[in-house]
Amino acid sequence: MPKKAIELGCKPGVHFWTLTEGVEVKLDNGTIVKPSDVMESTPPSESFIVNFIPDESFIESVINNKDYEQYFEENMPENNRIAIVYHSVEELNVIWNPHY
């Protein structure tokens, strides 16, 4: 970012900080510099999930939990991905249950 921003007329310090915050900068000559003009795309973020499901009676409450919907594959934004899902169970049949 610094080299490209300087080439466009940005000053180190406040311009750099503003651009890294995702806000465009208006230079003294009226030129607008957008973060996308000087920064590489953001690498995908990674999330992890920890599920504690003691037995099969908890499966429905987990898969129907509205808070989990954002992590369903069809709802995940392209710049995010699940890196790991940790399953803690007391009964192995939870893992083998087709609904889970």
Q: What is the pLDDT of residues 70-97, one digit of tens each?
A: 777 777 777 777 778 898 999 999 999 9
Query: pTM, whole model, 2 decimals?
Result: 0.46
Mean of pLDDT over the chain: 86
pLDDT at 26: 94
pLDDT(1) > 70? no
Q: Does residue 65 register a pLDDT over 70?
A: yes
For residue 59, give its domain range. Answer: 45-96
What is the bridge-based pairing of β-strands 32-33 and 25-26? antiparallel
Same domain, 57 and 33: no
Q: Are residue 20 and residue 54 in the same domain, yes or no?
A: no
Domain count, the chain: 2
pLDDT of residue 98: 92
In this structure, are residues 8 and 2 in contact, taking their beta carbons and an 8 Å threshold? Answer: no
